[in-house]
Amino acid sequence: MAAPLLTLRDIGLTFGGNPLLEGAELAVAERDRICLVGRNGSGKSTLLKVAAGLIEADRGDRVVQGGVTVRYLPQEPDLSAFATTLAYVEAGLGPGDDPFRARRLLEDLGLTGEEDPKRLSGGEARRAALARTLAPEPDVVLLDEPTNHLDLPAIEWLEAELKGMRSALVLISHDRRFLENLSRATIWLDRGRTRRLDRGFASFEAWRDDLLEQEEKERHKLDRKIVAELDWLRYGVTARRKRNVRRLAELGALREKKKTERRVQGTVKMAATETEVSGKIVIEAIGLSKAYDGRAIVKDLDIRIARGDRLGVVGANGAGKTTLINLLTGQLAPDAGTVKLGANVEMVTLDQKREALDPNASLRHAMTDGRGDIVTVGGESRHVMSYLKDFLFSPEQAGTPVGVLSGGERGRLMLARALARPGNLIVLDEPTNDLDLETLDLLEELLADYPGTVVVVSHDRDFLDRVATSVIMSEGGGRWTEYAGGYADMVAQRGTGVSARVIDKPAAAPKSSDAPKPAAEAPAKKRKLGFNERHALETLPARIATLEAELAKLQQVMADPALFTRDPVKFQKTADAITKAEAERAAAEDRWLELEMLREELEG
């Protein structure tokens, strides 16, 4: 068996108090597809940084085979030192790497390469960082939450790109469908240690639950043994002195084992604060329309949302999902049409922008907005830290500034704030960002049992399948269509998933002094060959020549009349290789001819 490309052995690391990593292990072999899973705060990102060589562990070994290239995608990429996104991506290339691939990846991800990094959104920065990480086609790719801030078309593009790469992958993600589609092995980081399952994420949760059940049985046995030894200590200590000393020592060891044992982190306890029941019809929109700068965001939309509905809103970035939500909830006035909210509707919202929290405010202050230490949840008054313990915050964190919380902790805090408010309509904009899988499970259960109405914007396909009773999707041009069921049901009905939004520039309004001339329309802007098309035109002839050379060699092997008798396996492999190379050559020739004719048409 070949040696792993990258190995971590017995990694130990402590920040402050308890050890974060205790004997963690990771072995990445050629073509591996590994997902790294664990609770928020368990040390997944830290372990990935150790693997990338960005953090030095307190103990343990990091071994990388000679000549092996490793690339790491951070959760929060920093592009500030570069003038353009292309300069940022090209800076990650090594000697001999293909600069055309850097440009191609940027274009596939919806960027031109000329963007100013200082003006990028979170999603655009993530796309540029993905292009930089993948462009060199490294031997090992380490990806920390690669789907964060990406829309569905970009997530599905990334899946296809990673499947086609020869690189070994280690992935951290909260997106179940993404992990299921890509992983072939799972590393579970739990209480500082790693355990490996040589199957993909689809098998992980049942395996984890079996391990935890076995651990609970072992803990129960330990408790019973301590009780038995204590009983002996009380009533049987008059036996032989030497034996007594040994058993007392064993009892002390059992007590120490129980005391130092690291237990599984607690479970988030979620409950939404309910108010009086809303009317049967919660939201009704008729002929709803909204446009910005001449581009239709919503056009002639009719929709009715009834009590108990769970509506998922999907579409590419920039399609207008948040605008649609604001129109339906009355926070934004439409250009045309009407929106009517039903009787007794009380709305609770969760904004996707975590920065809405004051980074300098303490955890306690952020929860109560500075109004004391008591929150009212479900009609009961509770101390703020007692309530926050349900969301896995410790009392010691009460004075912690929000700005130092992890992304997952900020996500849990926003959920705690939202669910403490009374309401019968919950509006969630990207609630799954940064939440760990266990917290996602509980959020899904809460929404499934919630007696009110839910409207949720999400790019998480699995989450939508588990929560939504219907999905409304942007079809382009301001058109929105509602489909029964979750995301998979929508794909089955449409035949395709979400497509990337085509960016149209609105037509400039004519100047008042320029009267329109019906007979002389402005000529349409001349189409040019795209970057991928130009690159294909330049490289396809060389590819065709290479395939022809391969075919010549293969045909020379087949010319041996005794080959089939002497080595039938080699004969069959050579015949299959000839068939494949001929098909590739024909496809390359057809594509080159198609592009050459297009070039002549556009330039002629």
Q: Given this model, what pLDDT does residue 383 score?
A: 85
Looking at the structure, tell me whether residues 75 and 142 fall in a common domain: yes
Looking at the structure, tell me whether residues 436 and 543 fall in a common domain: no
Looking at the structure, tell me whether residues 486 and 539 fall in a common domain: no
Q: Given this model, what pLDDT does residue 528 score?
A: 63
Q: Is residue 261 a part of any domain in this protein?
A: no
Looking at the structure, tell me whether residues 71 and 23 fall in a common domain: yes
Q: Yes or no: say if 352 and 372 are a contact pair by the CB < 8 Å rule.
A: no
Average pLDDT over the chain reads 81
Q: Is residue 433 a part of any domain in this protein?
A: yes
Q: Is residue 216 a part of any domain in this protein?
A: no
Structural domain ending residue among the three candidates 440, 469, 494 = 494
Q: Which amino acid is at 144?
A: D
Once rounded to an integer, what is the mean pLDDT over residues 249-278? 57
pLDDT band at 93 (very low <50, low <70, confident <90, very high): very high
- Residue 431 and residue 450: Cα distance in Å, rounded? 16
Q: Is residue 513 a part of any domain in this protein?
A: no
Judge whether residue 325 has pLDDT over 80.
yes
Structure-model confidence comparison of residues 263 and 253, the more confident one = 253
Once rounded to an integer, what is the mean pLDDT over residues 189-209? 92
Q: Is residue 265 a part of any domain in this protein?
A: no
Q: Given this model, what pLDDT does residue 241 score?
A: 45
Q: Is residue 243 a part of any domain in this protein?
A: no
The rounded Cα 161 to chain-centroid distance in angstroms is 15
CATH number at residue 589: 1.10.287.380
Q: Given this model, what pLDDT does residue 222 score?
A: 63
Alpha helices by DSSP H, 280-423: 321-328, 363-368, 384-389, 407-420
> For residue 190, what are the CA distances in angstroms to 5, 184, 517?
24, 20, 72
**Of the given ranges (125-139, 278-292, 440-454, 496-510), which has the lowest mean pLDDT?**
496-510
Q: Is residue 54 a part of any domain in this protein?
A: yes
Q: Given this model, what pLDDT does residue 300 score?
A: 94
Looking at the structure, tell me whether residues 196 and 48 fall in a common domain: yes
Length of the chain: 604
pLDDT band at 236 (very low <50, low <70, confident <90, very high): low
Structural domain ending residue among the three candidates 155, 172, 206 = 206
Q: Given this model, what pLDDT does residue 510 score?
A: 44
- Edge-to-edge strands, sheet with 281-292: 295-306, 281-292, 336-341
Beta strand 185-190 with 193-197 is antiparallel
What would the pLDDT profile of 557-575 be if each residue is shown by its tens digit? 888 878 878 888 888 888 8
Angle of helix 122-134 versus helix 152-164 axis, rounded to 10 = 10
Judge whether residue 516 has pLDDT over 50.
no
Once rounded to an integer, what is the mean pLDDT over residues 75-90? 92
Structure-model confidence comparison of residues 239 and 296, the more confident one = 296
| Residue for token pair 């306890």 | 269
Q: Given this model, what pLDDT does residue 530 score?
A: 66
Looking at the structure, tell me whether residues 472 and 542 fall in a common domain: no
Once rounded to an integer, what is the mean pLDDT over residues 251-257? 59
Looking at the structure, tell me whether residues 565 and 440 fall in a common domain: no
Judge whether residue 32 has pLDDT over 70.
yes
Q: Which amino acid is at 360?
A: N
Looking at the structure, tell me whether residues 480 and 548 fall in a common domain: no
Task: Determine what percent of the chain is predicted with pLDDT higher than 70.
Answer: 81
pLDDT band at 521 (very low <50, low <70, confident <90, very high): very low
What would the pLDDT profile of 402-418 be if each residue is shown by its tens digit? 877 776 777 778 778 87
pLDDT band at 63 (very low <50, low <70, confident <90, very high): very high
Q: Given this model, what pLDDT does residue 213 score?
A: 83
Structure-model confidence comparison of residues 271 and 335, the more confident one = 335
> For residue 429, what are the CA distances in angstroms to 321, 326, 361, 454, 459?
9, 11, 23, 11, 10
| Domains of the chain: total | 3
Q: Is residue 293 a part of any domain in this protein?
A: yes
**Of the given ranges (167-176, 198-207, 505-514, 586-595), which has the lowest mean pLDDT?**
505-514
Looking at the structure, tell me whether residues 171 and 301 fall in a common domain: no
Structure-model confidence comparison of residues 290 and 407, the more confident one = 290
Q: Which amino acid is at 161?
A: E
Judge whether residue 354 has pLDDT over 70.
no
Structural domain ending residue among the three candidates 206, 230, 247 = 206
**Of the given ranges (31-45, 66-80, 132-146, 580-594), which has the lowest mean pLDDT?**
580-594
What would the pLDDT profile of 522-532 be if each residue is shown by its tens digit? 444 455 666 66
Judge whether residue 246 has pLDDT over 90.
no
Once rounded to an integer, what is the mean pLDDT over residues 311-340? 90
**Of the given ranges (9-18, 153-162, 196-205, 330-339), which has the lowest mean pLDDT?**
9-18
pLDDT band at 371 (very low <50, low <70, confident <90, very high): confident
3-state secondary structure of 557: helix
Once rounded to an integer, what is the mean pLDDT over residues 282-289? 93
CATH number at residue 412: 3.40.50.300
Give per-residue burial for 142-167: e unless 16+ CB within 10 Å, then b: bbbbbbbbbbbbbbbbbbeebeeeeb
pTM equals 0.68
Looking at the structure, tell me whether residues 41 and 160 fall in a common domain: yes
Once rounded to an integer, what is the mean pLDDT over residues 247-265? 56
Residue 575: DSSP 8-state:
H
Looking at the structure, tell me whether residues 572 and 454 fall in a common domain: no
pLDDT band at 578 (very low <50, low <70, confident <90, very high): confident
Residue 561's domain comprises: 531-603
Alpha helices by DSSP H, 292-450: 321-328, 363-368, 384-389, 407-420, 437-449
pLDDT band at 207 (very low <50, low <70, confident <90, very high): very high
Looking at the structure, tell me whether residues 484 and 597 fall in a common domain: no
- Residue 58 and residue 56: Cα distance in Å, rounded? 7
| Residue for token pair 């239709």 | 296
